[in-house]
Amino acid sequence: MDMIASLSLGFSVALDPMNILYCFIGVLLGTLVGVLPGIGPTATIAMLLPITFSLSPAGALIMLAGIYYGAQYGGSTTAILINLPGESSSAVTAIDGYEMAKKGRAGPALATAALGSFFAGTVGTLLLAFFAPPLARAALNFGAPEYFALIVLGLLMSIALAHGSILKALGMIVLGLLLGMVGQDIYTGQPRFTMGVRELYSGLNFVSVAVGVFGVAEILRNLENEKGRDVMVKAVKNLWLTKDDFKRIIAPVLRGTALGSVLGILPGGGHILASFASYSAEKRLSKHPEEFGHGAIEGVAGPESANNAAAQTSFIPLMTLGIPAHPVMALMVGAFILQGITPGPNVINDQPALFWGIIASMWIGNVMLVLLNLPLIGLWVKLLSIPYRALFPAIVLFACIGCYSINQNIYDVYAIAFFGVLGYVLMRFGCEPAPLLLGFVLGPLLEEHLRRAMIISRGDATVFITRPISATLLGLAVLAVVIAVLPSIRRKRKEVFVEDD
């Protein structure tokens, strides 16, 4: 079947009034749960699975997919407005997005996120429509050594996440890597650093860590110097982007989309790297790297686009090979099966109407999201006029309820308290939380792939440089370090010469 026929079949399914309705319900719900911290798309899709029983397969899957990418939109809203990221991707958005909000530029930050996401979502959907099978094949060339090399590259690039001391950023990354190792070792089952608590066997919950080091730590800091004034009085300047803003976001959106699209296809954890990688790239390429961390609009545009492109392309391994790239995709597998369709390589041929219908609906969903979110910006910004003293108790409550609802695990709630204090102390003494979170999400992957690569190669470490993709990635990692270190060496030399004179 040629592409035009396929796509028109897809649109005929997606434009069915009932399916449009399900798509709308999906993206609306997705936006709402994305906005609420804690309750992420995984929990929502799990809760809604029973409801989708009674729907047609296309309707059910269109709605569930809508929840997923809708949540990607919504998640950035909370990160920007109240510094409460619900997912690793929005942790990056929080860095500069929240700073923009503090300066009264929440409107442009939200608009940038929406526009960047829309563009990236569209490109991601096109890739899914035109190149899904070959791309999925290409991604299969990634084995354990390649993923290990990719993660090393990501970690070294991400030193750029910090705007203060590089040493402290490194320390936070390593601390994050270590925290990520709490829980049962997947190779031997050995519980590590769990202090005998069975609830910690599956590790610390990302949302608890993120909500602690970002949200709660920020609240504790704001409670420091209350002298009769409220902390977050914001003169909201404008809601929309200026001409200059537009000029500044075009290139980051394009680069973020490209980066995110590529990383999203890799089923072994590529999507996690997308927004971090984009942020690092933008900071490197920027003429004003010092603005990053203080409200640089590029720091919102790039990562948000990367994140949404990756969200879209992470459907590629699922739709073409039946392989889930992450927990949400695993849930989608469950949803397919409940509808009586086993996802796998044959879906594209056996169920063309379903396959193309879902793809077409993704684009329609993205249009709906942008139409839904742009008018909402005004409302969200108004939310900031709620006095902070009334807002922060709500943030604390939402954080607790959200984290508890994910696994009904009370240790997830205790973890918020621990990481709130830790994040606050570290922040107060000059360490930033973003590198810690990156380390935390990548730590388990780094170890998993390293150990797997070594087992498969039977202890032969040269596997990392004899396999071309892995060798290239490691080469880039070395290059990244050299580029990062060179300027400071040169500066030091100058200083030495100055002292010699």
Partner 1 sequence: MNKNTVTLAASMLAAGLAFSGTVLAQDYPTKPITVVVPFSAGGPTDTVARLIAEVMSQDLGQQVVVQNVGGAGGTLGAGQVATAQADGYTLLLHHIGMSTAPTLYRSLPYDPTVDFAPIGLITSVPMTLVAKKDFEPTTLAELMDYIKANGENVTYAHAGIGSASQLCGMLLMDALDTQMTTVPYQGAGPAMTDIIGGQIDMICDQSTNTTSQIQAGEVKAYAVTTAARLGNLPDLPTTAEGGLDLQIGVWHGLYAPAGTDAAIITKLEAALQKALTDETVISRFAELGTVPVTAAEATPAALTELLTSQIALWKGVIEAAGVYAD
Partner 2 sequence: MAVSYFSTKDLVSGGIFVVAGAYFALEALTYEVGTAFRMGPGFMPLFLGAVLTGLGIVVAAGGWKKPDTDERFTPSWRGIGLIIGVVMFFGATIRGLGFVPVVFVSSFAAALSSRLNSPLFAVLLAITLTVMCTLIFVIGLGMSVPWFGPWLGM
Total residue count of the chain as it appears in this document: 501
Identify which of residues 11 and 418 has a Cβ nearer to partner 2 in the complex. 418
Token representation of residue 129: 């429509």
Rg (C-alpha) for the chain, rounded Å, is 22
d(CA 420, CA 212): 4
Q: Residue 393: count other Cβ atoms within 10 Å of its Cβ.
A: 10
Cβ(236)–Cβ(104) below 8 Å: yes
* DSSP 8-state class, residue 198: G
Cβ(338)–Cβ(49) below 8 Å: yes
Region of 36 on the Ramachandran plot (φ > 0 left; ψ -120 to 50 alpha; else beta):
beta
Does residue 489 touch partner 2 according to CB under 8 A? no
- Pairing relationship of beta strands 191-192 and 183-184 according to DSSP bridges: antiparallel
Question: Interaction with partner 2 in 25-44: which residues (CB under 8 A)?
Answer: 33, 36, 39, 44
Q: 448-481 burial string, b = 16+ CB within 10 Å, else e?
A: bbbebbbeebeeeeebbeebeebbebbeebeebe
Identify which of residues 251 and 396 has a Cβ nearer to partner 2 in the complex. 396
Residue 192, strand partner residues:
183
Token representation of residue 75: 């998640």
d(CA 190, CA 206): 21
Does residue 134 touch partner 2 according to CB under 8 A? no
Cβ(92)–Cβ(441) below 8 Å: no
Across 100-254, the runs of DSSP E, i.e. the strands, are 183-184, 191-192
d(CA 352, CA 475): 42
The one segment of 230-238, 304-312, 324-332, 480-488 that binds partner 1 by CB under 8 A: 324-332
Does residue 228 touch partner 2 according to CB under 8 A? yes
Of 166, 233, 386, 456, the one binding partner 1 by CB under 8 A: 456
Q: CA dihedral in degrees (60, 88, 441, 330; nearest 10)?
A: 0
228 binds, among partner 1, partner 2, none (CB under 5 to 8 A by kind): partner 2
Least separation in angstroms between CB 63 and partner 1: 16
Cβ(25)–Cβ(55) below 8 Å: no
Does residue 462 touch partner 1 according to CB under 8 A? no
Least separation in angstroms between CB 175 and partner 1: 23
Identify which of residues 49 and 236 has a Cβ nearer to partner 2 in the complex. 49
Least separation in angstroms between CB 203 and partner 1: 9
Identify which of residues 230 and 495 has a Cβ nearer to partner 2 in the complex. 230
Least separation in angstroms between CB 331 and partner 1: 4
Q: Residue 20: count other Cβ atoms within 10 Å of its Cβ.
A: 17
The one segment of 246-254, 342-350, 360-368, 469-477 that binds partner 1 by CB under 8 A: 342-350
Annotate each residue in 164-203 with x if it binds partner 2 (CB under 8 A) or - if it does not, as one string. -x-xx-xx--xx-xx--x---x-xx-x-xx----------
Least separation in angstroms between CB 397 and partner 2: 5
d(CA 65, CA 332): 8
Of 23, 71, 362, 450, the one binding partner 2 by CB under 8 A: 450
Token representation of residue 352: 């063309």
Tell me which residue of 428, 422, 420 sits closest to 164, measured CA to CA: 428
d(CA 358, CA 262): 21
Identify which of residues 50 and 375 has a Cβ nearer to partner 1 in the complex. 50
Does residue 321 touch partner 1 according to CB under 8 A? yes
Identify which of residues 67 and 473 has a Cβ nearer to partner 2 in the complex. 67
Of 5, 166, 285, 455, the one binding partner 1 by CB under 8 A: 455
Of 108, 317, 435, 443, the one binding partner 1 by CB under 8 A: 317
Annotate each residue in 373-412 with x if it binds partner 2 (CB under 8 A) or - if it does not, as one string. ----------------xx-xxx-xxxxxx--xx--x-xx-
Tell me which residue of 387, 39, 399, 30 sits closest to 214, measured CA to CA: 399
The one segment of 123-131, 334-342, 353-361, 458-466 that binds partner 2 by CB under 8 A: 458-466
Identify which of residues 172 and 306 has a Cβ nearer to partner 2 in the complex. 172
202 binds, among partner 1, partner 2, none (CB under 5 to 8 A by kind): partner 1
- Kindly tell me the sign of the dihedral angle through the C-alpha atoms of 308, 312, 313, 314: positive
Q: How many residues bind to partner 1 according to rule CB under 8 A?
A: 54
Identify which of residues 288 and 382 has a Cβ nearer to partner 2 in the complex. 382
The footprint of partner 2 (CB under 8 A) covers 33, 36, 39, 44, 47, 165, 167-168, 170-171, 174-175, 177-178, 181, 185, 187-188, 190, 192-193, 216, 219-220, 223-226, 228, 230, 389-390, 392-394, 396-401, 404-405, 408, 410-411, 413-414, 416-417, 420-421, 424-426, 428-431, 446-447, 450-451, 454-455, 458-459, 461
The footprint of partner 1 (CB under 8 A) covers 42, 45-46, 49-50, 53, 140-144, 184, 186-191, 198-199, 201-202, 267-268, 317, 321-324, 327, 329-335, 337-338, 340-346, 407-409, 448, 452, 455-456, 458
